[in-house]
Amino acid sequence: MAETTVPDDLRYTADHEWVRKVDETTVRVGITDYAQDQLGDVVFVQLPGAGDSVTSGDSFAEVESTKSVSDIYSPLDGEVVAVNDALEASPDLVNSDAYGAGWLAELRVASGTADDLLAGLLDAAAYGSQIAG
């Protein structure tokens, strides 16, 4: 397997989502480089709608590849405030730029702050250890 990128400035879930703070109550979510590598070529992404409610641990999106369809799980209880519309025309952005242009959605936390949420997630070292096996 190729070297997997695990940026230090993000937090991670055990389900291979990354989470980046946007502001005090909002985070951006995507799938990790490891996850996109395991999926193979992404051909379709089903995203929620802005305004949709999400529940921590529940599926809120799907990523379809040439190999399989994978659920994407919400890291928090809250609301979808933005989705990456570019993925409709270019789902391959998930493969080519997992931590940048391939982001999936922005979520507003239902209670507390983005920092509270991030504190409960894996840091880069812990996630790196998880995927190392």
Q: Tell me: the pLDDT tens digits for 37-71?
A: 999 999 999 999 999 999 999 999 999 999 999 99
Contact 48/60 with Cβ under 8 angstroms?
yes
Please report whether residue 4 resides in a domain: no
Distance CA 97, CA 79 (A): 25
Query: What pLDDT is attached to residue 4?
Result: 84
Q: Tell me: the pLDDT tens digits for 13-34?
A: 999 999 999 999 999 999 999 9
Query: What pLDDT is attached to residue 133?
Result: 73
Which CATH number goes with the domain that contains 29? 2.40.50.100
Residue 31 is classified by DSSP as: E
Please report whether residue 55 resides in a domain: yes
pLDDT of 2 higher than 70:
no
> What range defines the domain where residue 110 resides?
11-132
Q: Tell me: the pLDDT tens digits for 70-97?
A: 999 999 999 999 999 999 999 999 999 9
pLDDT of 126 higher than 70:
yes
**Mean pLDDT for the chain?**
95
What's CA 67's distance to the chain center, in Å?
19
Backbone φ and ψ for 27, nearest 5 degrees, come out as -130, 155
pLDDT of 98 higher than 80:
yes
Tokens for 89?
A: 């025309």
Compute the 3-state secondary structure of the chain and give helix, strand, coil in percent, each to the nearest 5.
25, 35, 45
Residue with tokens 């994407």: 72
Count of domains forming the chain: 1
Angle at 24 (CA atoms; ends 21, 27), nearest 5 degrees: 30
Question: Dihedral through CA 89, CA 92, CA 93, CA 96, nearest 10?
Answer: -160
**pTM for this prediction:** 0.94
